[in-house]
Structure 1
């Protein structure tokens, strides 16, 4: 059987170490599907139910493994559906390759069915974006796409017309003098140098040695540098603040961390940013500058991308390099602090904060407190469990009540903060790590968007555990409306609460519906111990507010104004707030 051009694409992916493609077939990629079929012993195709989920799975695969994620969609609407997941990859700087189909070259520009210029549509999301017009382009273009995705930590896109997909792999009908061809050696990617020059390391050491009240802000780029972060924190007597994507950088019970920052962060982290004179940003381009120091502080930033170094606040010393290698090199040059008074102050604040958070994890509260639900998951999950999370109020509960210990990890849509990635993230990561416990902590809104992907987990026998924080509303928007001073509108679904457990059970998975506090832990334990996919749907209190670590006067004022303007559930919300305060003060 003659080799078709799509096989050249598939073989080049295999050369690059790609072992999985997430996607959904269509008539615009039938040739590519045939190429995958012919090489199914070396490259697995994971059939999904929605192209958006395929892009999320590829993104999660890249985040969790460090290797390029690959997704596939047909021409027109199929390619359009990829975009949300691809923007998630773009904004969180992870390498993903999107492959799409296109109408036959003879039809382009004629308004044929489903004709969408996907190369133009993807121009903003993709670092590399190319439509194939000749079969012999394919190997070299695939190399360029993957190399660019790795080098620029972003999205690459290749779109291939139908007739090119099934053409002879070596066909060059125009008889070019020097047709594009793939290198004869194995595919390689030369990583950028990870260690800054010696003089830059010395400058960073001098900068840190001069600081008195120092904090470290650690992001996703430092997830692989835990030991180095803790060693530098010890030498400097510096608390470590973590961005949400960087939550797993150091354990949550470490004496060196004050936890998260921003609306989902802690009061000690907010206070710390007001007091420091020196800030070291490591592997983060944290966008919410209102939560960074508002007074003049000296700032250094270790950043892999020169374009992002110094992009957020005035930065005296931008250092381009890998977080782990840079911290390891600077550590011997740091002067050990003779006083740890500054660090001890924030250790005491964190002890108080942890007590307040623990007080909200009340097993007796009815309706069920979402803080208790997340704490139950944290208590029962394995020490190497991976939690994926959607955006919304659930991100607050996960940020504060999912405890990083051991080799636990945590993934969510960081900068895009889109709804619905939690379930496909879990599937993509479970596929990459079949022996790890993977838990999707999702809201009812996000789950409903891509719930058919739970069928993907069932059909591929992936033992993903899904826990739905079901408040029957768009909870984050509810509170955002009130913080603006307006009564909530259009954010709650009518009762009854949906029963997603019945959907799981009907399709052969373990499903459990939880409506009483005493049912939470038994249901979670049963799901975690189940050998296959499991789903626990928990009705939680929709009146539980995701309050920021430090409530500002203007926020409180507008919150009260929403009550005065006729907030429809003010009595229930006020009761919940009162219970929260009583429990926190009681701790």
Structure 2
């Protein structure tokens, strides 16, 4: 047994049965060891190391287990970085194994010799070690896994090629300096101080208009969130990383918050007197109550992040579920339910606005209608991914995710690229569950098209349940186009924003996948039925209108001024933008009138 064989066996003992990686001579020892491992752990070969790191991150997000990726020395090690930063910023446990030149050559400016210790000192700051002796392998693997799980971060082991080829030392020699580590880790029960719990209860009991904002840290505490929300008569808004729980079909769940948010969330946040953060570090102050408007309580398992987004009175450092269970007996049920009734009315109004917007005329197809129609057809247990771009707006707003579903995106890094590899990793982890990726044409051209070849590579593994990649073809890097207008006051610059038209459905068929193209609002429902009913992986190409604006729930005055300036400067799409944007906001006004004036729908 070589050191490489031993490391793989140790990773397997830690529950790692799948490694996303790309070959290279800097990890030759591992390639031979993977062959000898007979598929456990199994090497999954993406088309690019960056995609492998995204897949490892997605595995961690969707399973709660350690994700693992591998790359060769030099360029392969560099390529992992973007996907590993996705794991670091979204607090996911990922172990990276990277190659290095042989020890004898280090320091000689040898071919492919880079300094991964310097390169990775930020992305893997909690654990970054080089295996310089076979006896180190045992405790380096053990510590990497323990650190990744405990700190929910990236841990990296660098293995020089010659070390990987040496004979393994399963048990170090019994001498001074030897280390004897063990496999095993349990999640700790983290609870805040009792006095702080009572302080939090006092604040929450005193509030008459409580708004809850939940994130990724609350996704395993949905029952507790719902129970506390019921006691407090609160509404619940969700961050993008907290997209799934509580489910969207609950009448008091106001949906997304922020630029991608809903009018129901905006109304709740603007009028609350108490803000309750649970498992989130949502960063955008302009979408939170004004300072002094609301009293604050926050739960976060990491004390480094608590109380840094809004001035909080009670700082509960603890696990979301455990802390809510301790807090619950201290809370008093609100007898006045008028605040909850207002929230539910706004949620109902918001859903009608979405329906109105989705059915607005567009040229040729309204992107909101595409996701609106998907939402009505989401299979039970579906896993839905998305990517950076305007598609994230429709994914956040229109999808009604039910209990038992999963969804994610690159939250804090907000990088282009993960939507497709996330979906592929989800299928490997859950071979019998429907998986749908909602992605833009820019990111699909950047790296998604190549990963269709990965599906061809593992063809027999991808036909057990629907696997759909819905590509929004608008020939525009659409989100950045809108940001140019609203943030910089500049018109659309075709030199940077236009992208070539590619026949994505034809490309899919070329590879042997199902390819469907739709550019008609009358046909989009049938197209989704065909895609979700496909027995082979499917690319659904939807030709959508780039002029449908991702209008936020509240247009900031500065953004409105800059957008008007962009139009005045001669934006090539100015006429359509103004007409369609005004119509979108008009739906909000119309539904509000129906609901809140005498004779309206709630009377």
Verify: 1:47 aligned to 2:72, yes or no: no
Distance 2:587 2:553 in 1: 16
Q: For the structure 1 residues 171 and 212, does the alpha-carbon distance in structure 2 shift closer, same or farther, using more than 3 Å as the test?
A: closer
Q: Please give the alpha-carbon distance, in whole angstroms, between the structure 1 residues aligned to 2:483 and 2:386.
A: 20
Match of 1:504 among 505, 508, 511: 508
| Equivalenced residues, count | 581
What is aligned with 1:277? 273
The SS at the match of 1:248 is: coil
Quick check: 1:475 aligned with 2:478?
Answer: yes
Cα shift readout 1:484-534 (whole Å, capped 9, x = no counterpart): 211111343265x21111111111111112222233222221111112211
Determine if contact 1:240/1:259 at 8 Å carries over to the other structure: yes
Establish whether residue 232 from structure 1 lines up as the match of residue 228 from structure 2: yes
Match of 1:335? 332
Residue 567 (structure 1) aligned with residue 571 (structure 2): yes
Whole-angstrom distance in 1 between the partners of 2:291 and 2:265:
15
CA shift in 2, pair 1:171/1:103, >3 Å: farther
Deviations for 1:350-388, whole angstroms, at most 9, x for unmatched residues? 222221111011186441000000111111120321100
- Which residue number in structure 2 is paired with residue 533 of structure 1? 537
- Write out per-residue CA displacement over residues 150-189 of structure 1, whole angstroms, 9 at most, x where no aligned residue: 111110011101100101112999x893354443x5x111
Q: Secondary structure at the match of 2:427?
A: helix
Q: Structure 2 matches for 1:75-154, cutoff 5 A?
A: 75-126=73-124, 127-154=126-153
Is 1:444 matched with 2:441? Answer: yes
Q: Give the Cα separation in 2 of the matches to 1:443 and 1:384.
A: 24
Contact 2:551–2:581 (CA<8 Å) still a contact in 1?
Answer: no
- Residue of structure 2 in register with 1:35 after alignment: 33
In the alignment, the residues of structure 2 paired with residue 533 and residue 180 of structure 1 have an alpha-carbon distance, to the nearest angstrom, of 51
Unaligned 5+ residue runs, structure 1? Answer: none
SS of structure 2 residue aligned to 1:249: coil
| 1:266-345 alignment runs, 5 A limit | 266-296=262-292, 297-345=294-342
- Answer whether contact 1:357 1:584 (CA < 8 A) is retained: no
Output the CA distance in 2 between the equivalents of 1:47 and 1:528. 26
Q: Distance in 1 between matches of 2:297 and 2:263?
A: 23
Question: Which residue of the partner structure matches residue 166 of structure 2?
Answer: 167
* Of 339-348 and 157-166, the range deviating more from structure 2: 339-348
Aligned to 1:360: 357
CA distance in 2, matches of 1:83, 1:98: 10
Of 357, 382, 385, the match for 1:385 = 382
Work out whether residues 244 and 260 of structure 1, in 8 Å CA contact, stay in contact via their aligned partners in 2. Answer: yes
**In the TM superposition, what is the alpha-carbon distance from 1:583 to its structure 2 partner?**
5.4
Aligned position for 1:522: 526
Instruction: Give, in whole Å, the separation in 2 of the partners of 1:406 and 1:318.
Output: 29
Tell me if the contact between 1:63 and 1:94 (Cα under 8 Å) persists in the aligned partners. yes
Give the alignment's TM-score, normalised by structure 2.
0.93
**How many Å apart are 1:331 and its aligned residue?**
1.6
Residue 230 (structure 2) pairs with residue 202 (structure 1): no
Measure, in 2, the Cα distance between the counterparts of 1:518 and 1:25: 47
Residue 492 of structure 1 pairs with residue 497 of structure 2: yes
Cα–Cα, structure 1 residues 286 and 162, in superposed 2: closer, same or farther, change >3 Å? same
Equivalent positions of 1:218-229 (< 5 A) are: 218-229=214-225
| CA shift in 2, pair 1:270/1:580, >3 Å | closer
Tell me the C-alpha RMSD between the 2 structures: 1.9
Asked if structure 1 preserves the Cα contact closer than 8 Å seen for 2:71 and 2:80, the reply is yes
Instruction: Provide structure 2 residue ranges, at least 5 long, that are not aligned to the other structure.
Output: 592-603
For residues 448-474 of structure 1, give each alpha carbon's deviation from its aligned partner in whole angstroms, at most 9, with x where no partner exists: 121211221232232431001111111
Quote the offset at 1:586 in angstroms: 5.9
Q: Which secondary structure does the structure 2 equivalent of 1:247 belong to?
A: coil
**TM-score between both structures, scaled by the size of structure 1:** 0.95
Determine if contact 2:291/2:310 at 8 Å carries over to the other structure: no
Contact 1:230 1:256 in 2 (8 A): no
Residues 1:419 and 2:416 aligned together: yes
Distance 2:47 2:562 in 1: 42
How far is 1:267 from its partner?
A: 2.0
User: How far apart, CA to CA, are the structure 1 residues paired with 2:484 and 2:526?
Assistant: 36
Q: Say whether the 8 Å CA contact 1:458–1:533 is kept in structure 2.
A: no
- In structure 1, the residue matched to 2:210 is 214
